[in-house]
Structure 1
Amino acid sequence: MTTTRRTALVVCPGRGTYNRPELGSIIANIGANHTAAKHALAQIDQTRAALKLPTVTELDQAPHYKSTLHQHATNAAALIYAGGYLDYLAINQEQFDIVALTGNSMGWYTTMACAGCWDIATTTRLVTSMAELTAAGAGAQFIYPLVDSEWRPHPGYEAAVAEQLARHEGELYLSIHYGGYAVLAGTTEACQAAVAALPRVDDRFPMILPGHAAFHTAMMTNAADQAQQLWPAHLFHPPSIPLIDGRGHIWTPQAVNTAALQQYTLDHQVTQTYHFTRAIQVAVKEFAPDHIILLGPGAGLGGAVAQALIAMNWQGLDSKTTFAERQQAELPYILSMGIPQQRSLVAS
């Protein structure tokens, strides 16, 4: 690995990234001598215990993966946040200069934590609170591709999604622009009807996301209103590193209004479409990082990030094949900490 310090954009994953294969990974990834990560995990566990909830250590070290336990909203939120935050602490910052942070959906909270907008205890409580509030909302969420097998735009899939959004206007919404995928959400009835109507793709899609409500839609307005009462602006601090949010807006440390940051985080981010694709595209255009580092848990972000880059022909990326070839480099452009070989290139 080169000894030259290289710039990096760090990306935090969202819901649904701690699955059966990730069981045990959070503890396993903490190095024997990584004092900061051990201390952070102890604080997260202490806060969870005070809330009378299973600790991250207990969940991660459970003998078996149980969907009812690990995918329960408050537990999943803690695992996703803890996994991502501890991975962030593990990045070798003598090798990588982190120039910006972004994330997908719930990953925005991890992004805020990594940038120091909240302390560990506050973040742990907030992600638990937001999981409770949003999970209590009605509706469902599902995912559908907008690209072909080479990750290029597929007009037929795009038209099919547009047709369903028009047919169920006011009940079905575009929840997340997720690289080459559309994540849709809305009432259970509208989601079921759209899933039944959309053409099947690869025997997988459209795919209902278990345990997900109508996130990033107007159906979350009540959750957003409650969140703003529970988490006032004085608890927010300016980030230490530039952040790119779900609109593609850049929050520069020296110019952050914490009241605006609180309103975005607990209102717009909760009730409006999350444009992860735009966040990635703005980040690479504005900061031109040498690498993109994807935090765990899991390694599911890679495809969506690559698809966002292909859509703008970033550095000549124009297909899945081109991306795969580029990733064969000794030090790949995208480095996923959920992939052991790539993690070894990133972690201290």
Structure 2
Amino acid sequence: MKKTALVVCPGRGTYNKPELGSISANIAASSPKIREYLQQVLDQIDAERAALGLATVTELDQAKLFKTSLHQKAEHAAALIYAAGYLDFLSIDREQYDVVAITGNSMGWYTAMACAEAWSVPTTARLVTSMAQLTAGGAGAQFIYPIVDSEWRPDPAREAQVNAQLQAHQGELFRSINYGGYAVLAGTEAACSAAMKALPLADERFPMLLPGHAAFHTHLMGEAATKAQETWPTAVFREPQTPLIDGRGHQWLTPTVDMRALHQYTLGHQVTETYDFSKAIQVGVKEFAPDRIILLGPGSGLGGAVAQALIAMNWQDLDSKAEFSKRQAAEVPYVLSMGLAEQRALVTTAQS
């Protein structure tokens, strides 16, 4: 009997040095019946990149060395993250899993849209590149700070410290992403700098500035949102074929999607307002009660944030990091990360 699954797509910054070569390696390791298909999809993405005069995903992924200046340049990172995630989605064994809903974190919304077939492959390849260029050129900065304790339980004191900084820098500092046990804040460079100096050191490395990130999911992205809506009309959007959960926790249920509203959210609200990843996960498990949560690559960084969002709502009596680790030790964990080889093997079609 098939298991139901909520699929989660990662956001910006998840293709790093350890992921170099992972896209081509995952295709090569796929079962023969889908390997050719995955390569055909990658070829389509590469063709769109080449037409834009940009390095292809294959060229970037198969580079001999990982270079931050190259691989984490906005328009390159976005393409790598989208391609890795989308190809992972296509690799899920549909004889084992019935995907009942899809969500993502921040830029992962674009990958989620692709997975739900709301855009064609060529459109998505061009759109993720375009959005990366538009938003990366924006003003401001973004940093991350924990709001949970060592057992991933909500920490009221840390939450209060974050809120105090938001209050102290009203109109210049904003809640960018609710990311499980972390608050991602963004705003003007001056406000971010002041807030980072004011917040006490946590876990020996926070507050942490996110290099190359602008004030994503704030009104400082207003110009980017306007240009995006002028560049990408509603006509390029298609009816999603799988339910989507957005960064407000709103469900886009097929086949009754208002395409204009989806366009306005994706290129408007999603760009300029807080992205509540935690709420998206919480709505996903409450409304769809999936047997498993499948995290797409690249990387495997989503697991902690997903667990923290579940702990915050005491999902199925999950109340701590220790308890989550205990449950993940099961033969088939509840949360399956395709960025981890042993868990990927439980999601994809067996090699033959």
TM (norm. structure 1) is: 0.98
Offset at residue 218 of structure 1 (A)? 0.4
Which residue does the alignment assign to 1:59?
Answer: 60
> Secondary structure of 2:6's match?
strand
Question: 2: distance between equivalents of 1:25 and 1:206?
Answer: 30
1:145-294 map, 5 Å: 145-294=146-295
What per-residue deviation string (whole Å, max 9, x for no partner) do you get for residues 86-110 of structure 1?
Answer: 0000000100000000000000000
Question: 2: distance between equivalents of 1:146 and 1:198?
Answer: 12
Question: 2: distance between equivalents of 1:40 and 1:149?
Answer: 42
- 1:229 is matched by which residue type in structure 2? E
> Secondary structure of 2:239's match?
coil
Which residue does the alignment assign to 2:5?
Answer: 8
- 1:162 is matched by which residue type in structure 2? N
Say what the alpha-carbon RMSD is for the aligned residues.
0.6
Gap runs ≥5 in structure 2: none
Offset at residue 284 of structure 1 (A)? 0.4
> Secondary structure of 1:141's match?
strand
Question: 2: distance between equivalents of 1:35 and 1:148?
Answer: 46
Query: Could you tell me which of 17, 22, 38 is aligned with 1:20?
Result: 17
Which residue does the alignment assign to 1:36?
Answer: 37
- 2:18 is matched by which residue type in structure 1? P
Offset at residue 154 of structure 1 (A)? 1.0
- 1:77 is matched by which residue type in structure 2? A
Question: 2: distance between equivalents of 1:253 and 1:285?
Answer: 18
Question: 2: distance between equivalents of 1:226 and 1:252?
Answer: 27
Matched, 1:335 2:336: yes
> Secondary structure of 1:144's match?
strand
Worse overlay, 18-27 or 32-41: 32-41
- 2:3 is matched by which residue type in structure 1? R
Offset at residue 32 of structure 1 (A)? 5.9
Which residue does the alignment assign to 2:325?
Answer: 324
Question: 2: distance between equivalents of 1:175 and 1:135?
Answer: 15
> Secondary structure of 1:205's match?
coil
> Secondary structure of 2:346's match?
helix
- 1:16 is matched by which residue type in structure 2? G
- 2:13 is matched by which residue type in structure 1? G
> Secondary structure of 1:239's match?
coil
- 1:25 is matched by which residue type in structure 2? S
> Secondary structure of 1:39's match?
helix
- 1:312 is matched by which residue type in structure 2? M
Q: Give the % identical residues.
A: 67
Q: Hey, which bits of structure 1, 4+ residues long, moved more than 4 A?
A: none
> Secondary structure of 1:29's match?
helix
Offset at residue 35 of structure 1 (A)? 1.9
Question: 2: distance between equivalents of 1:322 and 1:193?
Answer: 37
Question: 2: distance between equivalents of 1:22 and 1:209?
Answer: 18
What per-residue deviation string (whole Å, max 9, x for no partner) do you get for residues 234-274 of structure 1?
Answer: 11011000000000000011110111100000000000000
Gap runs ≥5 in structure 1: none
Question: 2: distance between equivalents of 1:203 and 1:78?
Answer: 32
TM (norm. structure 2) is: 0.97
Question: 1: distance between equivalents of 2:59 and 2:87?
Answer: 16
What per-residue deviation string (whole Å, max 9, x for no partner) do you get for residues 4-52 of structure 1?
Answer: 3100000000000001111111110112621221111000001101101
- 1:29 is matched by which residue type in structure 2? N
